[in-house]
Structure 1
Amino acid sequence: MSITDGMSDHQMIITTVNARPKVIKNKPRKIYQYKKGNMENVKEYLNSKFNNFKEKITEMNIEEYWTLFKTHLFQAMDLHIPSKNLTSRFNLPWVNQHIKKMIRKKDRLYKVAKKYQTKEHWDKFKQYRKAIKTELNLSHKEYIFVMLEVRPSTSEASTNTQDQYRIGKKYWKYIKSKKRETVGVSTLKVNGETIDSSKGKAEALNAQFQSIEMVQRRAARFIKSNYSREPGTVTTLLEELKLTPLETRRKIARITLFHKAIHEKVAIPIPSHILKPRRTSRLHQPNTKKDMYKSGQTKIFTNTAFFPRTIRDWNKLPDELLEIESSEEFKTKLTQLLCSG
């Protein structure tokens, strides 16, 4: 990602996006078999290593102290407790030997149809492929029903499905495995270098956000040719130049987007728990408690989320501004109001 000069006083952000889907495979996970471990040897090993452990507390900081403790502990576990690696299964559990045999036969039919290129061979291949799909669907449904744990019914005449089956842990594990999105920040590329580690991603994003905030502050120093390091210098320069702070710009953009959502000019639905009184343009949310907004017993938004944060700013605006329907006029008046103060 890089920033270059754009049109007028704007800057243009150039970035490279990798649109190729990335398959994230689970790494083998090492687990210790504590029941098979020799705990007496573990205790003897730790006693020998931690004999003068308390005396070293004045020689090291807390990080070095913890690292030493962790190193000795894992050494004892590796020496006296057996371990094994758990790997994930990449095959589908409902594809049994019968279906695998049918798939191999389908592949043979495809090779024959591709070789002779006759309608008879292609029809035979397509018909068999359709039969495999049907068999796969039936096997998949049977696999799902097996994961539903049977609950004994209290009444013999009960036919309610809820009385017959109970959704267990295996079922939810299967549902979780079907998700397609990944959690977290994907791989970043900074100055031609690919960053995979969590620490590297955090440092790269932090540097990027700090650079955006510093653009305006450096511009103020350049315009005034004032590079003094005294506290409050940049703040004074921004006030003299009357440059709109980035925080105010974000606030204007946020309230303008909320205005468009209210007037249905953008596809952002207003949640049902946000109430609008009949005789005023103010908005409010019921059941406010500390920093959480609740609807019944369900936590919905925090105080810094878009709707609660924007509604507080919205309700502070004058009535004549809230009655404007044109988004362009509303943004102009809002900018004049916030920048004048």
Structure 2
Amino acid sequence: MYLCKKAEIHKIREDLANFNSSFINTVDRNVETMWQAFKKAIQNTIDKRVPTKMSQGRHTHPWINTTIRRKINQKNKAHRKARKTNKKRDMDRYKRLKQEAQWEVRQANKKYMEEVSTNYKDNSKNFWSYIKSKGQEWTGVAPLKNKLGFLQSDNKSKAEILNDQFQSVFTKEHLNNFPNKGKSPYSTMDDIKISTKGWESLEERRKTNRLFKIQHGLIDIDRQQYLIPNDRRTRGIGRFSQERTKTDTYGQSFFPKTIRDWNQFPSKTTLADTIEGFRAALKACPERK
């Protein structure tokens, strides 16, 4: 892992300034080449100017302190030495350090549990953190076994294992080996011709039906506030006046747009008595065909 606090900031700026001058003066390169050059320069600067260290994933329990961690490291060193020398003296030392480390870990765990349970009301964060750590559910994909039987926990390896599993369920059929079932007893269907002319979205149909219900009082909406009758007595009866809209957004909203569509219908459609009759006249309307 990178130690950003110990990075050489001044030298990083010098390296990037030198790269900036050469990068700007370079011409006749495509976007992908320029991106790779920029990425490579940044990565080289980080590797060169930012120190790193190996991170340890062990001893993550909250009751493991520095003293216990030092004792566990001594036990691990003694175990490696005992395996290497295969002497009784080194093996006895390893067993003694193992017992001491286990005893200290258990005592620290017991003390930690007492503090968590005692100070639950004052500081409940530690208590619920411990409860959550004891859960068995996974928030993501659990470690998976590869073909060799080893558990893989990193995202790339798990993705490759799942990809191999998904690919294994598909079979490759040879087109030349299909059985011949003879001539089909069914007649060939004509080609289906689909045209968008006369089609209307479900949303537009619902808006028109809703306007009919508002006009006949089938919905509890004040029609006088939105629907202004036409002044003409004969021609255009059943239509509504449309107020001018100041913005295009409001012009495409429910009442202005639906009133424009409504005024295009013939009188037979707009003067229907029932919703069933209105829908039937709407289907027979030439504007909808």
TM-score under structure 1 normalisation? 0.31
Q: Which of the two has higher C-alpha Rg?
A: 2
* Higher RCO (CA 8 Å, separation ≥ 6 residues): 2
- Structure in which a larger fraction of residues adopt strand: 1
TM-score under structure 2 normalisation? 0.35
